[in-house]
Structure 1
Amino acid sequence: MVSRRSLAALGWLAAVVVATLAGIGAIRLVGDSLTGTPGGVRSQAEVARDLAAAADRSPAPTIAPPASPTESTTPPSDVQRKTFQIAGGTVVARCENGLVSIETWSAAQGFALRDLDEGPDDEAEAKFEGAGGRSEIKLECRAGQPVRKGHDD
């Protein structure tokens, strides 16, 4: 005669087998969407082609902070902006009323921003540091334009 323990063990084993088979069946039913890459794996050439096609179809997005109801979305006519690229990253600066400000910055891959004096002031500065060493830029306004300090731009 089979004991209660044996019946309990057999019941538990049967439940485990049924749960496992149900799980495997569900995964097969859903398919690659859980276990694979949707749409398959793409080569570098396919990705480059698709990115180029997407860039041709849509204009480059512009990112601007939202304007408050009392704020004008168009800059005053005496505001001049310029983008500077250095080894450590990219800095967008502007001159307004003779003072320079760093509006935005972006560190290059492998670099991080270490110090930022964004102004507005007579001088603005961004310092980046990373595996490629140190990279910094000092800016000032000259003739209403943001320029690198010490450079004849």
Structure 2
Amino acid sequence: MDRRTLLAVTGWLATTAAATLVGLAAIDLVGADITGTAGGVRTEQDVARALAVPEAGPSGTAASPTGTPAGTGAASPTGAQRGFTTPGGSVLAECGPGGVRVVTSSPTPGYRTKHADLGPDDHVEVRFVGDDQEYELRLRCRDAVPVNDVKD
């Protein structure tokens, strides 16, 4: 091999190695911001929090069952909130002095809310209906924490 060919191959290898290292460093710096976590892996708590957040309504803000944007009300007096999910939709409920109450509910695409008893009361119900399926959540408080009261 002559000297010019050797210099060309060495220069090409050095340029390729430098470009690869710069690309990997850029992906490492930006990657966590793009996926939320390194590798895009979410914990069970992250998934539960994401499922408890209602979907955006027509105006682009998340709507509560009463029609007010979620997060605009007063803070929970007890802080005992819990999310529940069915294939028909999700509900965020909390326990307070008046019993259990629905904070937000959101049907899954293809479903609608047929009935919603929002409370506060001893029991609250939210029923999601699709073309051929119906899902009902019946909630109550147990030890100041919302629980699904499954009917027999």
TM-score by length of 1: 0.52
| Distance of aligned partners of 1:142 and 1:98 in 2 relative to their CA distance in 1, 3 Å threshold | farther
| Contact 1:110–1:132 under 8 Å retained in 2 | no
CA distance in structure 1 between the aligned counterparts of 2:135 and 2:110, rounded to whole angstroms: 12
Provide the alpha-carbon RMSD of the alignment.
Answer: 3.1
Who is 1:112 aligned against?
A: 112
Describe the SS at the equivalent of 1:121. coil
Shift of 1:148: 0.7
SS in 2 for 1:119: coil
Identity rate of aligned residues, in percent? 29
- SS class of match (1:120): coil
Deviation string for 1:26-76 (max 9, x for gaps)? xxxxxxxxxxxxxxxxxxxxxxxx9x825349xx99875336xxx6xx433
Inter-partner Cα distance in structure 2 for 1:102 and 1:80: 12
**Structure 1 residue ranges (4+ consecutive) displaced by more than 4 angstroms after TM superposition:** 60-64
Return the alpha-carbon distance in structure 2 between the equivalents of residues 128 and 66 of structure 1. 25
Equivalent position amino acid for 1:53 in 2:
I
Q: Say how many residue pairs are matched.
A: 94
* Structure 2 spans left out of the alignment, 5+ residues: 1-30, 39-48, 54-61, 63-69
Contact 2:98–2:120 (Cα < 8 Å) also in 1 = no
Which is higher, the Rg of structure 1 or of structure 2?
Answer: 1
Distance in 1 separating the partners of 2:76 and 2:114: 29
Flag structure 1 segments of 5+ consecutive residues without an equivalent.
1-49
